[in-house]
């Protein structure tokens, strides 16, 4: 995941001025919260959480289809 520096804030900044961080989420769609200069948390709008989950489910389905296609013979042998 590429992280743009203007979309990152330290956990200390979040503790001191959460409303500013919330405005950043409104403007940018997401903010990465750093703890000890390492990306630790992702803050997104609640409405986007479901669409992010759907995207993750689609990724899992794509991976599953690829693995099934790749190992089709093994699945056929196991099915016998």
Q: What are phi and psi of 2, to 5 degrees?
A: -85, 135
Asked if 74 and 38 sit in the same domain, the reply is: no
Per the structure, the count of domains in the chain is 2
- State the pLDDT at residue 56: 67
Residue-number span of the structural domain to which 10 is assigned: 1-44
pTM beyond 0.85: no
Q: What CATH number should be reported for the domain holding residue 1?
A: 3.40.1620
Asked if 23 and 57 sit in the same domain, the reply is: no
- State the pLDDT at residue 15: 95
pLDDT in tens, 2-43: 556 568 999 999 999 999 999 999 998 889 999 998 999 999
């Amino acid at each position: 995941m590429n992280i743009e520096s203007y979309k990152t804030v330290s956990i200390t900044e979040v503790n001191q001025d959460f409303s500013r961080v919330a405005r950043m989420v409104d403007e940018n769609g997401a903010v990465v919260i750093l703890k000890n200069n390492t990306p630790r948390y992702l803050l997104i709008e609640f409405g986007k959480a479901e669409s992010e989950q759907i995207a993750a489910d689609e990724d899992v389905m794509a991976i599953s289809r690829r693995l099934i296609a790749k190992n089709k013979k093994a699945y056929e042998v196991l099915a016998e």
